[in-house]
Structure 1
């Protein structure tokens, strides 16, 4: 009898010990560790399945600092094989079915938009982890237990607020008032998330498979070389409002390159400046204008130039330029790195335009 009692006591103790899991860290500590892991991640990859309303997309995601990403669509079938690639300065989207590539560069990348039926909203998958990290850093999260996700133990955190937390990365940019995230208890990487509206309606859900960070993704993964026979077109972009330059002081403030040598009688009139995109400066003598343009060169967009057969000109610093005259105007144009330059006047002559061009990188014109 004593032996039976002893056995029962041992079994009870053992069952109690097995049923008591280690206490998880506090919610704010879990959140802080996730935020820290996101900040330390120089690269990231995962397969992500996204459901937003009636739309479902699965893609292989690769991301690397600074600003590089690659999205390889796996589902749905009519999107499978489509690839989106950005090296931080140029973006491509290639459709193997139509053998068409759309491309955009520089500041216009943020203004690019997609035409149906392509689900442009799905490209937002590259920023889900950043959005979650920013919100967890600002909001108080609640611990909702643990779950097993793909064989991994995940901490479940929830953030809710009566006011909008952020906009959902969906086609309609719905306001998110609550979200849940599943964070790998060991790696601190995202395993899943759900975003909800103010009525508790599910807006978007995403599941991550095989997430990895800091694996040393190669740079050439984010370079796109259009296959032979590809039709290349510029990606459509929305209009971007540039800065208006009403004075020399405005130009100096924004660090705009300006000529220090002008034809006699010419003075600054006005200009426009889109940082990283273009600068257009207009000078006038009251009757005629002199225009100096610096524009990010894009070989896939048609460049507006004066027609005619150009004459080769060698600038004093060795840069190769072209001079052309047509329709009562003359123009000197050249390339310097990623930018194309044009100096256009009202038949000022090659010598005068060369003098202006060679002074463009000098000190700004005195006010």
Structure 2
């Protein structure tokens, strides 16, 4: 079912917890556990929840919240509740068509949903095997969470270099094998908490919930083919020939870095963006990524919710974000373009690269 593909990661955690606690017996193979997961999920027809996420990084804490509805087959609806500047942004799909509404720009993007090939189905057994190899998983207890019985799991990574920080704690709904809360992070660096509040299953959500009526006066943007919004890989020369704007490139790069890919798109679901291009430079296992979005109206930087430091790029104010692992991200404007530069470098060198792009 479509719902399970969105929560497969935590379903894996649940299956391991049940295995460790003896609820489904010991000695089951990954294939048998995957089969158990699918049996449990087959009973879910619809779900609704308020999803609350808190991200704490050096420099500040940001919270986001949205209302979530999902129903088989393939229906979904998300409404942003916070932060205030993004409230009301709505994404709706009835399984065949998708609407994306931006109330600030008063635009509605409408596109046909692509068919998903069977080859994109999740390989649950492989995911379970990988997780077992990467973490030590233990069932630490049970807890009532928002009126629902949960299993509480702890995952401790076996290696320092991992995706889970110093560890992950998960509260798993005993009835549906769905996550109700996840905590992960690294002490003194970052912490992420995701909570599924007011979680309900099989309440008979109407199909009408997954239809969208375009508000009066809203601009409608039709996308005929989903593939049209995906960026295409090409050479820098090909991208510049297609672009109606001057694609900017740095005249300074640290030693060893070379351009290895360019992604270009002249269709966007984001209001006021005519074109976007991404330049990817690499050296050994490190990469510098420069994204340029060309606007035909007001430039919107609302999507980045982290705290930033104001810096100067050739006399223009920019926002510098300190990222996990010593990387940095810089965002600034040149004429009608919003540029974003991400790299595993110190702030001074990132600014030096940016200032060479005039």
Same fold (TM over 0.5): no
Say which structure is richer in strand: 2
In the superposition, the TM-score normalised over structure 2's length comes to 0.43
In the superposition, the TM-score normalised over structure 1's length comes to 0.42
Q: Which has the larger radius of gyration?
A: 1
